Amino acid sequence: MNKSLHNKVIWICGAKSGIGLEVAKQCLVLGARLCISSRDGQVVEELQGSVKALKCDANSQEDWQQCADQISQEYGQLDIFIYNAGDCIYVDDVDIKPGDFKTMMNINFHGMIKAAQVTLPLLKKTDNSQFVGMASSVAWLALPRAEAYGSSKAAAYYFLKSLRLDLSNYGIDVSIICPGFVKTPMTDKNDFPMPFLVSAERAGREICQGILKRKPVIHFPKRFTYLLKFIACLPHFLQFRICRSFVK
Ligand SMILES: NC(=O)c1ccc[n+]([C@@H]2O[C@H](COP(=O)([O-])OP(=O)(O)OC[C@H]3O[C@@H](n4cnc5c(N)ncnc54)[C@H](OP(=O)(O)O)[C@@H]3O)[C@@H](O)[C@H]2O)c1
């Protein structure tokens, strides 16, 4: 990997654990000037001293604006923004709870919209900037129990694809991250087998390589993501038969 993140100002939302933490470590290795926003405004011990810590609940427009103002004042530019914050709630026994859907949409989708509102003006002022958003490979194919999580990630995926078109006139690239299963505190809660599970370290490397290559869609592990893409291309009755076999 080359050193092309050297001196870039990168802001990651959600880097206290899992994928975001590993992306943060890679960004530092590659020489970035890193800002991390989290709900408590703290960073994990191993990153302390190397990064600027900001306090931002992804659901608070006020927090977003304050962070953007701080970054603008301190650096005067923003090269790359990465929206990684997220959570997952599965639907059990087809018990549809509107509150769970709201929680999923708020953190996985509306938080990203709030972030875009304050980061795009900064990215527009910087040459060759990038907006990177976390979706999921679940956005391509409806899976059982994923009514809430999958809907929020599909919304994020569509938003990012559409944004990519509109930002092309401004010289801002948009990258959409679509991982398969990654071992993190979020997936440690899962009670089902996760095919082709990869480590958070590998996810961090794949994401940073994808950002460096300015890939429109960063997806991994390929054996899993191409399989999902293939199933999603099949006629609906075949998709149904395959995906129904995953129902417990
Ligand atoms: N792991 C997978 O298999 C997988 C697959 C596809 C996509 N993803 C996506 O990858 C992203 C990272 O997930 P992960 O697996 O690495 O899980 P994780 O370790 O639980 O990380 C989730 C991150 O989101 C932050 N967060 C949650 N709610 C927030 C809020 N309201 N405001 C600000 N930050 C908030 C958390 O910060 P706190 O420490 O404050 O909670 C944490 O840094 C998520 O968007 C997830 O949907 C994961």
Chain segment 148-174, per-residue pLDDT in tens: 999 999 999 999 999 999 999 999 999
Residue type at position 44: V
Q: pLDDT at position 161, please?
A: 98
For residue 60, how far is the Cα from the chain centroid?
A: 18
| Ligand 1 in reach of 107 Cβ (< 6 A) | yes
Task: Choose between 48 and 34: higher pLDDT.
Answer: 34
Atom of ligand 1 nearest to the CA of 135: 7
Share of the chain above pLDDT 90, in %: 95
106 touches ligand 1 (CB under 6 Å)? no
Could you identify the atom of ligand 1 that is nearest to the CA of residue 58? Answer: 32
**106 pLDDT higher than 80:** yes
From 102, 186, 192, 202, mutation site for ligand 1 pocket: most ligand atoms within 8 A of C-beta: 186
CATH class of 9-244: alpha beta
Compute the C-alpha angle 238/222/209, nearest 5°.
Answer: 145
Mean pLDDT of the chain: 96
Rounded distance, CA 70 to CA 133, Å? Answer: 21
Helices vs. strands in the chain: H and E counts, helices first = 8, 9
What pTM does this model have? 0.97
Residue nearest to atom 19 of ligand 1 (CA): 18
Section 222-226 average pLDDT:
98
> Does the beta carbon of 57 lie inside 6 Å of ligand 1?
yes
Q: How many CA atoms lie within 13 A of 173 on its CB side?
A: 17
What's the distance, CA 128 to chain centroid?
20
The closest-lying atom of ligand 1 relative to the alpha carbon of residue 108 is: 45
